[in-house]
Structure 1
Amino acid sequence: MPSPSAPHVALLTDAFDRVAGEVRRVLRGATAEQLAYRPDPEANTVAWLVWHLTRVQDDHVADVAGVEQRWTAGGWAEKLALPFDVADTGYGHSPEQVAAVRTDGAVLGGYLEDVHAATTAFLGTLTPADLERVVDTRWDPPVTLAVRLVSVASDDLQHVGQAAYVRGLARRAGV
């Protein structure tokens, strides 16, 4: 746990801990059928949502940390063996691509845990001054590290909420 003298680290760590905790709840006891369930042919599956939110976190945090993504460094691209380019994070996927994310909860959970550990380790290195560093000049105003990290946590929480909802729909449908 971050020291009390580092409230910025504690706050960010809490946000990413919440993401990981919610994903663990969604995956706990999920069957392959529940992970692949789609309320309609255009909907995202639990498996795709969890994979996507983890890929985005991995991609964005590795980028600002200046390290290799856990997707490749941890061998997760091979373990999940998805039919996508190694750089793919799921952004803009078609319904057919969403359906191609078929795996079990243990593998998805393993990837999440690896990314979460890398994220919290990175957060533990940050100073308040680091959070003001501009990490993306394509926006106006330019994006700081603090804004990028909050954006990733926000996006992840939205997607894990969607995954929990789809899993609930699957249960109600008898899946």
Structure 2
Amino acid sequence: MKSNELLLDAFGRIHDTVAATLGGLDVQSLVRRPAGNGNSIAWLIWHLGRVEDAQLASAAGLEQVWTAQGFARRFDLPLPERDTGYGHSTDKVDAVQAPPALLAEYYDAVHRQTVEFVKTLGDGDFDRIVDTRWDPPVTLGVRLVSIIADCLQHVGQAAYAKGLNPAHGEGGRTPAGGRD
């Protein structure tokens, strides 16, 4: 297996779990916050999409899907256009509301851009420095693994939050897509 194929599998698992988590949810379920102050499913899915989108676009030299494909306008959130959710207050978490179809459409578009980029990579590409603000500077390989780790964590939180909702019960479980 080539390195980029391994990364494509990891990004595919995120995609599959986002789709399974959003399945069967209505807007009310999406904005419910565990224990009244946890992050909502809508916020978690939006945030992981924004993180993957912003970080991958920066590393790949691409425009973010969020702006290039008009999702910032379509979501119409009361947040700065480049906001990705880092450091959000409880009010900002509450401000992220969208129907499940729009959340899924945005993440699908982000995933397509990710897949198109990762398919082009060879093993020699992963050592390229993409961020010099850190010591040591961040390579493309490290950035991609970081994106995967962050997104898997958030989609797992969203799936767990779905399972906490009595209306969805076992629906919080998400399939591994037959990849285990």
The TM-score, its normalising length taken from structure 2, stands at 0.90
Instruction: Say which SS state the counterpart of residue 90 (structure 1) adopts.
Output: coil
Contact 1:45 1:163 in 2 (8 A): yes
User: Which residue of the partner structure matches residue 177 of structure 2?
Assistant: none
User: Which residue of the partner structure matches residue 97 of structure 1?
Assistant: 92
Instruction: Say which SS state the counterpart of residue 13 (structure 2) adopts.
Output: helix
Of 132-141 and 160-169, deviating more is: 132-141
Are residue 121 (structure 1) and residue 121 (structure 2) matched? no
1:31, distance to aligned residue in structure 2 (A):
1.1
Q: 2:54 aligns with which of 46, 59, 64?
A: 59
Give, in whole Å, the separation in 2 of the partners of 1:91 and 1:170: 25
Seen in structure 2, the aligned counterparts of structure 1 residues 173 and 109 have a Cα distance that, compared at 3 Å, is: closer
Amino acid at match of 1:45: S
Give, in whole Å, the separation in 2 of the partners of 1:136 and 1:101: 28
| Aligned CA-pair RMSD | 1.4
Aligned-pair identity in percent equals: 50
Amino acid at match of 2:7: L
- Aligned pairs, how many? 169
Contact 2:162 2:168 in 1 (8 A): no
1:173, distance to aligned residue in structure 2 (A):
8.8
User: Which residue of the partner structure matches residue 151 of structure 2?
Assistant: 156
C-alpha distance after superposition, 1:23-79 (max 9, x if no partner) = 000001111111011123321000000000000000000001101100000110111
Seen in structure 2, the aligned counterparts of structure 1 residues 173 and 133 have a Cα distance that, compared at 3 Å, is: closer
Instruction: Say which SS state the counterpart of residue 134 (structure 2) adopts.
Output: coil
Give, in whole Å, the separation in 2 of the partners of 1:173 and 1:55: 26
Amino acid at match of 1:25: A
Are residue 14 (structure 1) and residue 9 (structure 2) matched? yes
C-alpha distance after superposition, 1:143-163 (max 9, x if no partner) = 110000000001000000000
Give, in whole Å, the separation in 2 of the partners of 1:20 and 1:81: 23
Give, in whole Å, the separation in 2 of the partners of 1:99 and 1:90: 11
Extract unaligned runs of 5+ from structure 1. none
Extract unaligned runs of 5+ from structure 2. 170-180
After TM superposition, list the pairs within 5 Å mapping 1:20-169 onto structure 2: 20-169=15-164
Amino acid at match of 1:80: F
1:172, distance to aligned residue in structure 2 (A):
6.0
Of 163-172 and 72-81, deviating more is: 163-172
User: Which residue of the partner structure matches residue 175 of structure 2?
Assistant: none
Amino acid at match of 2:147: V
Contact 2:45 2:158 in 1 (8 A): yes
C-alpha distance after superposition, 1:58-109 (max 9, x if no partner) = 0000001101100000110111111110010000000111011111110000
Instruction: Say which SS state the counterpart of residue 105 (structure 2) adopts.
Output: helix
Contact 2:51 2:84 in 1 (8 A): yes
